[in-house]
Amino acid sequence: MGLTTRRDLLLLAAAMPVVNAASGRTFPSELKKFTDPATDFPLLRLTSPEYNSSLPSPASRFISKKSNFLLHSSDRAGGKTAIYKLDIKSGEDSIVAEGEAIERRFAALTPDDRSCCYADGDSLIVGPLQAGKSRELYHSAEGWRRAGLPAFTEDGIGALWPEQKEQTFRLRFVSTMKLGATPISTARWRRP
């Protein structure tokens, strides 16, 4: 059955934001204000201590330009680590990336604050913060594996991706504009 009238098309268009919003799981606020007993300073706790949550490496830009949301990782939804977008004002938390082996210490916003890059095992992935499909920017070649934390460039045009194969290490530049990676440096580790 196809769309037969303009009214059908308008109803479908009006329903799309609801469908997109429902595709990402959202969790209620867990913001809690309290006073630090040692210093008497007011504090604001963003997440519950019932599960593991952590911020990405300080080398990544994970706070939006307008400071209205931030990225963090957590295992609150079933034990697997996922990347979340936390609305700082409301405290609402929503999943933006799930995978098999999410690196909890790496998540970086793209320059337009519309997507985030994250590491899932040996893959560098960029995914939209709203509804949409994630895409793999780079996957380590056979025999190579990610060796440490990637680093997103300040201007947002790419990431530095460290890899290891046996005793050989290499650093590659992965562009967010095109597929593939450019070698930067390769070194072989030898025991003294």
Radius of gyration over every alpha carbon of the chain, rounded to an integer in angstroms: 20
pLDDT over 70 (residue 15):
no
What are the DSSP E strand ranges found in 91-191?
93-98, 102-109, 115-120, 123-128, 135-139, 145-146, 151-152, 158-165, 168-175, 181-188
For residue 32, count other CB atoms closer than 10 A to its CB.
Answer: 13
Tokens standing for residue 58: 């300080």
17-28 mean pLDDT: 53
Give the neighbor-by-neighbor strand order of the sheet with 123-128.
102-109, 115-120, 123-128, 135-139
Domains and CATH numbers, the chain: 24-188 (2.130.10.10)
Q: How confident is the model over 60-111, as pLDDT tens digits?
A: 889 999 999 999 999 988 778 999 999 999 999 999 998 889 999 999 998 8
Q: How confident is the model over 105-150, as pLDDT tens digits?
A: 999 998 889 999 999 999 999 999 987 889 999 999 999 999 988 9
pLDDT over 90 (residue 58):
no
Residues linked to residue 169 through DSSP beta bridges, in sequence order: 164, 187
Separation CA 95–CA 177 (nearest Å): 25
Q: Are 100 and 125 in contact (CB under 8 A)?
A: no
Separation CA 99–CA 32 (nearest Å): 29
pLDDT score recorded for residue 124: 93
